[in-house]
């Protein structure tokens, strides 16, 4: 009977209970300092990091951009095949224009006067033979250059290979010339025109800045110290900044990245929004495992000879492709992100009490004293005149 009564009483006590916050002021330098330090940390985070560093009061937008390029310069080659020859833009820029990118031919292996005819296949492509029975008419393979005719012929005085129908004479599998044929390419310049737009803020700008005039543009070359606003770059300067030697890179070819970054704070004057250029090599130049290095491809120039026979010049071209990459972000004051960040900051300040309470009630030496004062119970039931609940 008594236990039942006791249970009933505690349920009643729980139900008829009202809790109200009581302010406990702890006058202690230790606890006070702790509280201020945590508050300072939170304020430092909200003001220093969120507002100043991350500009939490701003709306941000990503960049839209367009890029065009124009290379200038001439190079001279002097070989036994071609004699003295000048190479201009139309010769060494392939294709004439690309999107956000340009390729400069720096080295080449030329095979002149190829016609559709019969010749011995190269060695070591699986077409080596001793007699005609080793060759099969109509057979070809991906490593070979043509279709077999079924005859076994002398490749050289000591080796025999199957005869093929192909563009003959075949290109010999040679190493690219070193130094590169178009060594003069290091002095070529490129004008990179880049227009950007931040649609959210209706902000447009281009990398030819307003103060750059025509005469300056005609003779300037980008230099980080003396001409940082000139949008004309010497090819060698770009590879040098990327920590590469142009002539070494030109032998086998490669890929260079031209990064243009536009990080703009549009709360500041628009003239402070200027592009920043950085250069780096993008393809792998790992010297440890440098199988198949660089960048090359083949193309041909076709013509007809006097006897109306179709003839071509095959070129295995090595060169450097420059990829222009534009990235950036703009920020401008907006009330919505500001309010969001203020709200988050206030919520964090509320957290300070929780953390302080936790430390005060569990780690401090006087925690029991604090606990006694922190929670106080006013028990109405105890106050019944007969002393029983």
Binding residue ranges for ATP: 70-72, 189, 296-298, 316
Residue numbering of the annotated binding site: 70-72, 189, 296-298, 316
Which residue in 71, 183, 255, 266 binds ligand NAG (CB under 6 A)? 183
Task: Return the SS3 of 186.
Answer: helix
248 makes contact with ligand NAG (CB under 6 A)? no
Which residue number, 100 or 187, has a Cβ lying nearer to ligand NAG?
187
Residue 124 burial class via C-beta count within 10 angstroms: exposed 0-12, middle 13-18, buried 19 and up? exposed
167 to each of 86, 150, 274, 310, how far by Cα in Å?
Answer: 27, 17, 53, 10
Within 10 A of 137 (CB to CB), how many other CB atoms are there? 13
251 makes contact with ligand NAG (CB under 6 A)? no
Main-chain phi, psi angles of 304, to 5 degrees: -115, 135
- Helices 29-43 & 335-362, crossing angle to 10 degrees? 160
Q: How far is the CB of 185 from ligand NAG (least distance, A)?
A: 8
177 makes contact with ligand NAG (CB under 6 A)? no
182 makes contact with ligand NAG (CB under 6 A)? no
169 makes contact with ligand NAG (CB under 6 A)? no
Total residues in contact with ligand NAG, by rule CB under 6 A = 4
Residue 79 burial class via C-beta count within 10 angstroms: exposed 0-12, middle 13-18, buried 19 and up? exposed
Using the contact rule CB under 6 A, the part of the chain among 58-66, 148-156, 183-191, 292-300 near ligand NAG is 183-191
Q: How far is the CB of 240 from ligand NAG (least distance, A)?
A: 13
Which residue number, 186 or 237, has a Cβ lying nearer to ligand NAG?
186
Which residue in 186, 194, 231, 352 binds ligand NAG (CB under 6 A)? 186
Which residue number, 77 or 111, has a Cβ lying nearer to ligand NAG?
77
Q: Is the dihedral of CA 78, 82, 84, 85 positive or negative?
A: negative
240 makes contact with ligand NAG (CB under 6 A)? no
Which residue number, 44 or 179, has a Cβ lying nearer to ligand NAG?
179
* Residues 106/250, Cβ–Cβ less than 8 Å: yes
Query: DSSP states of 317-341 as a string?
Result: EEEEEEEEEEEEEEEEE-HHHHHHH
46 makes contact with ligand NAG (CB under 6 A)? no
Within 10 A of 327 (CB to CB), how many other CB atoms are there? 13
Residues that bind ligand NAG (CB under 6 A): 183-184, 186-187
């Amino acid at each position: 009977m008594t236990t039942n009564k006791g249970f009933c009483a505690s349920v009643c006590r729980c139900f008829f209970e009202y809790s109200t916050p009581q302010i406990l002021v702890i006058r202690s330098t230790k606890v006070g300092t702790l509280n201020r330090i945590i508050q300072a940390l939170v304020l430092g985070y909200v003001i220093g990091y969120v507002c100043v560093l991350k500009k939490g009061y701003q709306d941000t937008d990503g960049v839209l951009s367009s890029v065009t390029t124009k290379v200038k310069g001439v190079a001279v080659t002097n070989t036994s095949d071609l004699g003295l020859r000048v190479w201009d833009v139309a010769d060494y820029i392939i294709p004439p224009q690309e999107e956000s990118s340009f390729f400069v031919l720096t080295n080449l292996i030329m095979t002149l006067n190829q016609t559709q005819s019969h010749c011995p296949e190269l060695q070591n492509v699986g077409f080596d033979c001793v007699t005609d029975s080793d060759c099969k008419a109509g057979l070809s393979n991906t490593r070979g250059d043509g279709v077999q005719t079924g005859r076994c012929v002398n490749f050289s005085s000591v080796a025999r290979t199957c005869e093929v129908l192909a563009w003959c004479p075949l290109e010999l599998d040679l190493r690219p010339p070193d130094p590169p044929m178009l060594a003069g390419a290091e002095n070529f310049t490129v004008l990179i025109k880049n227009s950007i737009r931040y649609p959210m803020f209706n902000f447009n700008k281009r990398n030819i800045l307003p103060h750059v005039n025509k005469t300056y543009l005609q003779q300037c070359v980008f230099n980080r110290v003396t001409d940082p606003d000139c949008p004309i770059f010497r090819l060698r300067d770009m590879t040098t900044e990327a920590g590469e030697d142009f002539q070494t890179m030109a032998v086998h070819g490669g890929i260079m990245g031209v990064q243009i970054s536009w990080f703009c704070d549009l709360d500041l004057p628009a003239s402070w929004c200027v592009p920043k250029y950085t250069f780096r090599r993008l393809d792998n130049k790992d010297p440890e495992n440098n199988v198949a290095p660089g960048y090359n491809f083949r193309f041909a120039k076709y013509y007809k000879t006097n006897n109306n026979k179709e003839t071509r010049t095959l070129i295995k071209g090595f060169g450097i492709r420059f990829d222009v990459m534009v990235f950036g972000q703009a920020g401008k004051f907006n009330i919505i992100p500001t309010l969001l960040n203020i709200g988050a900051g206030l919520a964090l300040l509320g957290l300070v009490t929780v953390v302080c309470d936790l430390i005060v009630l569990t780690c401090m030496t006087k925690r029991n004293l604090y606990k006694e004062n922190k929670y106080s119970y006013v028990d109405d039931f105890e106050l019944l005149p007969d002393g029983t609940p």
